[in-house]
Amino acid sequence: MQVVSQVREPLITGGKTIRDITEDISSRVEESPSAAWLGGFAFSLLMFIAGGIYLGDLLWSGIGRWGLNKSVEWAWDITNFVWWVGIGHAGTLISAVLLLFRQKWRTSINRAAEAMTIFAVFCAGSFILMHVGRTWLAYWCLPLPNTYGSLWVNFNSPLIWDVFAISTYLSVSLVFWYIGLIPDFGTIRDRATGKIGRLMYGMLSFGWDGAAKTWMHYEAVSLILAGMSTPLVLSVHTIVSFDFATSVIPGWHTTIFPPYFVAGAIFSGFAMVLTLMLVIRKVYRLEDYVTMEHIEMMNIIIIVTGSIVGIAYTTEFFVAWYSGVEYEQYAFVNRATGPYWWAYWSMMTCNVISPQLFWIKKVRTSILATFVLSIIVNIGMWFERFVIIVTSLHRDYLPSSWVYFSPTIYDVMCYIFSFGLFFTFFFLFAKYFPVVNMAEVKAVWKESNPRVYRARRTVSEDEIPAADKKAIEKDLVHAH
């Protein structure tokens, strides 16, 4: 018997039954694709192909296409890589950290968030592969025996740490996500009316039967994967921050980078989840599963992480002054007032100032405001990486490379390509996979539905309403 305090909002509204949960989620998979879906999917494919043409040229001709003859010319592509990796943090965070902290509102959004995570990491990975230049030799990053007398990779290099971190993160996230999908595939398999559907979902479900013993192991596996994913998700962006912070470049070498990058990643990831979830919620009519309470909670996390990022910006500025190191001081003053002031102040406005609007209850419970702000945050987080990378590189050690960065068409189209990649996968996911974790939502259904379960009381002597009293007595009878 679970007891739920009266101060908690229900997690599922609309008086849904467990049957309804199965029906509402599975039928989205079973329906044939809508016109809107086909349109969106076609547009994603278009971006994928259009960007892919330029990417093909880039791979064929070499990354000189990006105009790489000054260090600052890398800016756009490294920014994209870090931006995508950052976005790829929220899913695992929602499922892992919120699971450990027993925040039950995660159940309705974790599936889509994890899917988003994985696709975002695909995009980030695609940028790593592009950066390598000769992509077909990317396997040289792995410590494989070779014909150069076994010349190994350099384990002292943060870039090699990155290879390990991102590939581990991607594969563990995939496993975590798939383990979560298995029971839901079982549900869809048992509802399937077509032979192909039954066969496909039958194979995807790994022969799931929902036996108590399997659930027992499954629960243990989920909990441990969550426990391990939590430091893992921290380690990934930490190591991405090491790529910068282990150097001695002013503006990059600062010890707060690891936790501050992680906070920024969570921040942008949550914003992306909100952007996507608000659309899915509307199109799939999931208002009873992704309620205002869910949106508000996510907005609160956005305020918290946005403020942490703000504090980190201030700390960096303060310590640059406090350190007395001239170069550090210049790097930070140059950020705010140099040729890229516009990028810096866009970043400040989008990341630190605009999320503060969520302190107002009216704003954080407005769908439109949330949607707009979530996009603003993502723009801001792109600028954050741009600012860090460009402002430190455009005044580095060789004055001959002091130029003003402007992207080439190849830079822009590779970015478009990554969007195409991301949305192509996401559209496929949203159509053929259950977008909400049915099993987990069913598990919190009983304690979150006031119509069914009303044992909400405190030990104070407040008079319990007669209707509630009856319900509580009934529950107690069942409990014994």
Partner 1 sequence: MEKNKHFLVGIFDDQDELLHAVEHIRHAGVKIHEVFTPYPIHTLEHELGYKRSYMPRAAFLFGATGTTLAIAMQSGMMGIDWPMIIGGKSFLAIPDFVPVTFESTVLLASFGMVGTFLVACGLHPLKAPRLFDRRSTDDKLVMAIDLGNNSLSEDQIKAVLKEAHANEIYRKDFTDEDNSESFLTYLVDLFTKGVTSSSRKLN
Partner 2 sequence: MKSDVQYNLDERYVFSDKAKKNVFIVLILGIIFFAIGVAMLAFGGDHSAAHALAYGDPTGHVGEGGHGFSWVTRLKSDLWINTVFFTGITMIGVFFVAIQSAAHVGWSAALKRVPEAFGSYLPVLGVVMLAIFLWAGHDLFHWTHSYLYNETLENGQPNPQYDEIIAGKAGFLNPTFFIVTVCFIFVWFAFWFFIRKNSLAEDLEGGTERFWKIKTLSTLFIIFLAISSSIAAWMWVMSIDTHWFSTMFGWYMFASWHVSGLATITLTVLFLQDQGYLKMINENHLHDLGKFIFAFSIFWTYVWFAQFLLIYYANIPEETAYFIDRFQNDLYKKAFFLNIFLNFIFPFLGLMTRDAKRKTIILKIVCFGVLAGHWIDFYQMITPGVLKENGGFGFMEIGLLMIYIGVFVLWIGNALTKAPLVAKNHPMLQESLNHHI
- For partner 2 (CB under 8 A), the number of binding residues is 50
315-349: burial string, b at 16+ Cβ within 10 Å, e else: ebbeebeeeeeeebbebbebbeebebeebbbbbbe
**Least distance between partner 2 and beta carbon 95 (Å):** 16
Shortest CA distance to 244 belongs to which of 79, 414, 73, 64? Answer: 79
4 binds, among partner 2, partner 1, none (CB under 5 to 8 A by kind): partner 2
Shortest CA distance to 433 belongs to which of 210, 222, 229, 174? Answer: 174
Check binding of 118 to partner 2 (CB under 8 A): no
Check binding of 215 to partner 2 (CB under 8 A): no
**Least distance between partner 2 and beta carbon 91 (Å):** 20
Of the candidate residues 171, 322, 469, 474, the single one contacting partner 2 (CB under 8 A): 322
Check binding of 59 to partner 2 (CB under 8 A): no
What does the alpha-carbon distance between residue 77 and residue 137 come to, in Å, rounded to a whole number? Answer: 19
325 binds, among partner 2, partner 1, none (CB under 5 to 8 A by kind): partner 2
Question: At 289, phi and psi to the nearest 5?
Answer: -105, -40
**Is the Cβ–Cβ distance between 73 and 99 less than 8 Å?**
no
Where in 285-413 does DSSP place strands (E)? none
Check binding of 461 to partner 2 (CB under 8 A): yes
Nearer to partner 1, 120 or 240 (CB): 240
125 binds, among partner 1, partner 2, none (CB under 5 to 8 A by kind): none
Please identify which residue in the block is written with the tokens 């010349």.
151
**Least distance between partner 1 and beta carbon 221 (Å):** 5
Residue 123, CB half-sphere, CA atoms under 13 Å: how many?
34
CA 219 from chain centre, in angstroms, equals 23
Nearer to partner 2, 8 or 431 (CB): 8
Check binding of 2 to partner 2 (CB under 8 A): yes
Nearer to partner 1, 63 or 188 (CB): 188
Amino acid at 368: L
What does the alpha-carbon distance between residue 110 and residue 326 come to, in Å, rounded to a whole number? Answer: 46
The sign of the dihedral angle between the CA atoms of 471, 476, 479, 480 is negative
Of the candidate residues 32, 150, 255, 400, the single one contacting partner 2 (CB under 8 A): 255
**Least distance between partner 2 and beta carbon 235 (Å):** 8
Q: Phi-psi region for residue 206, left (φ > 0), alpha (ψ -120 to 50) or beta?
A: left
288 binds, among partner 1, partner 2, none (CB under 5 to 8 A by kind): none
Of the candidate residues 308, 357, 379, 403, the single one contacting partner 2 (CB under 8 A): 308
Six token digits for residue 124: 């980030």
What does the alpha-carbon distance between residue 364 and residue 168 come to, in Å, rounded to a whole number? Answer: 35
**Is the Cβ–Cβ distance between 469 and 457 less than 8 Å?**
no
Nearer to partner 2, 2 or 193 (CB): 2
Check binding of 94 to partner 2 (CB under 8 A): no
256 binds, among partner 2, partner 1, none (CB under 5 to 8 A by kind): partner 2
164 binds, among partner 2, partner 1, none (CB under 5 to 8 A by kind): partner 1
**Least distance between partner 1 and beta carbon 196 (Å):** 10
431 binds, among partner 2, partner 1, none (CB under 5 to 8 A by kind): none
Of the candidate residues 242, 425, 427, 429, the single one contacting partner 2 (CB under 8 A): 242
Check binding of 460 to partner 2 (CB under 8 A): yes
**Is the Cβ–Cβ distance between 391 and 400 less than 8 Å?**
no
Q: Is 368 exposed, middle or buried (0-12, 13-18, 19+ CB in 10 A)?
A: exposed
Of the candidate residues 100, 144, 216, 412, the single one contacting partner 2 (CB under 8 A): 100
Nearer to partner 1, 190 or 396 (CB): 190
Give the Å distances, CA to CA, from 33 to 25, 269, 422: 14, 28, 19
Q: Which of residues 222-241 bind partner 2 (CB under 8 A)?
A: 230-231, 234, 238
Chain residues that interact with partner 2, rule: CB under 8 A = 1-8, 100-103, 230-231, 234, 238, 242, 245-248, 253-259, 307-308, 311-312, 315-316, 318-319, 321-325, 457-462, 476, 479-480
